[in-house]
Amino acid sequence: MSTRLKLGCIADDSTGATDLANNLVRAGMRVVQTIGVPPGPLDADVDAVVVALKSRTIAPEDAVAQSVAALTWLQAQGATQFYFKYCSTFDSTARGNIGPVTEALMDALDVPFTIATPAFPENQRTVFKGHLFVGDLLLSDSGMKDHPLTPMTDANLVRVLQAQCKRKVGLIDYQVVGQGADAVRARIAELKAQGVAIAIVDAVSNADLLRMAPALAELPLLTAGSGVAIGLPGNHGLAPSSQAAELPA
């Protein structure tokens, strides 16, 4: 078991897993990425592990089973916070798999609340008033509307995720995020009091991701694209360092 493992990540595809690992390393974390759930314990002293699955477009029940298996393995390695990573275009079918996997992880961890934001401004993926933009276009006006497996015809992420979830979905908008972590914490408390269990979070810049990050330290489970990762190492006192990317001899 790693003696310092802080973050256990579950990615729904391999390329997205690599994006996530890259963002964590750039922000100062030592990271191992695995292809699938390893058969044995982790043999590396790192800050984060990213388990890459191929669960984005498989049957929801299979995606749930694989994701929960990854969670169980990460818990056994000593991870203290968990991150379900999906695509920055939030692509999924009407049945999932983002919603079903999120709720299964919430059940397994017994957590009452989590966030959801695919925002990755460096890749031109931004969320404003709960609507996902690809560059200057709403998701529903982008090429994703014609995706052969997961056509995205609605840019309203609250509505998209609510259709996949039993729990109530709400919004933490850009005005709250702009006020910083304390405002985000207050909004989370307000949403929880209203019975909301999952909140889409606006972010139109990296500054937004960094502003919200301290408030996310208190959540056992995060769900997001890879953008949110840039602010998480700072919650553990880590800063960008060339040592984070060094490989063992």
Residue-wise pLDDT for 102-159, tens only, equals 999 999 999 999 999 999 999 999 999 999 999 999 999 999 999 998 899 999 999 9
Four-point Cα dihedral 57, 58, 61, 64, nearest 10: -60
7-11/81-85 β-pairing: parallel
**Percent of the chain beyond pLDDT 90?**
94
Residue-wise pLDDT for 78-87, tens only, equals 999 999 999 9
Say which residues have a Cβ less than 8 Å from residue 146's Cβ, sequence separation at least 6: none
Query: What's the whole-number mean pLDDT along residues 54-62?
Result: 96
What is the overall mean pLDDT for the chain? 96
CB 64 within 8 A of CB 106: no
Domain residue spans of the chain: 7-238
pLDDT at 20: 98
Give whole-number Cα distances, 111 to 62, 63, 104, 131, in Å.
Answer: 22, 20, 10, 26
Query: What's the whole-number mean pLDDT along residues 171-200?
Result: 98
pLDDT at 33: 97
Whether the link from the prior residue into 97 is cis, omega within 30° of 0, is: yes
Choosing among 3.10.28.10, 3.40.50.10840, 1.10.10.410, 3.40.190.10, the CATH entry for 7-238 is 3.40.50.10840
CB 48 within 8 A of CB 29: yes
Task: Please determine, for residue 2, whether its predicted confidence score (pLDDT) is greater than 80.
Answer: no
pLDDT band with cut points at 50, 70 and 90 for residue 94: confident
Say which residues have a Cβ less than 8 Å from residue 125's Cβ, sequence separation at least 6: 88, 89, 118, 119, 132, 133, 134, 225, 227
pTM above 0.85, yes or no: yes
